[in-house]
Amino acid sequence: MKKLINLSLALVGFAVIATSCKKDETNDDNNNNTAQGIQGEWQSSGDDVAPLLAALFGTDSIYANFAMDMSYTVEQYDSTGAKLTLSGVYTQTKSGVGDIWTITVNQSSPAALDSEGIFEVTNSTMLYEIVQTNPDIGAVPPTAAGGFGSTNGGALGMMNVQTYQKIE
């Protein structure tokens, strides 16, 4: 049960990191001002919210902005309408496994923490799975090789996988 609670806290950290309402631009490696990977505005609501977040925290919807300057803002709402805003910086790297990328999030607000995970963007849909790694809560991050559902070695299945839709 303690591991489930710790994993839940990690997921909340991820949800906060992944959501925002502001659109920013950043340069790709060629200074083309072209969004890469996770960059852009995303929303998740209803059945797209990770089942673990919905069950443990009553999460109703998440709005995330991953800016091209490598900062992020996430707004997470629960079923009562209460909002939690998370912000910080992130790094993303192509994993070499299909179209899966790895992501590291360094949250600065409302509390400092680090999270690691994976994501994959297909057209305007993104799958995202991440867990808190610092402070250590005993959660094992998903891997590109393990695919989606690989948090804690697959123990949670798809419970920690979030689906986002791109906001155009």
Q: What is the pLDDT of residues 1-56, one digit of tens each?
A: 445 444 444 444 444 334 333 333 334 444 557 899 999 999 999 999 999 999 99
pLDDT of residue 29: 45
Instruction: Indicate whether 102 pLDDT > 50.
Output: yes
Q: Where does the pLDDT of residue 168 fall: very low under 50, low under 70, confident under 90, or very high at 90 and above? A: confident
pLDDT of residue 20: 35
The first and second tokens of residue 163, run together, are: 């689906």
Tokens 């804690």 identify what position?
A: 152
pLDDT of residue 17: 39
Share of the chain above pLDDT 70, in %: 81
Arithmetic mean of pLDDT over the chain: 87
Q: Which residue has the higher pLDDT, 135 or 16?
A: 135
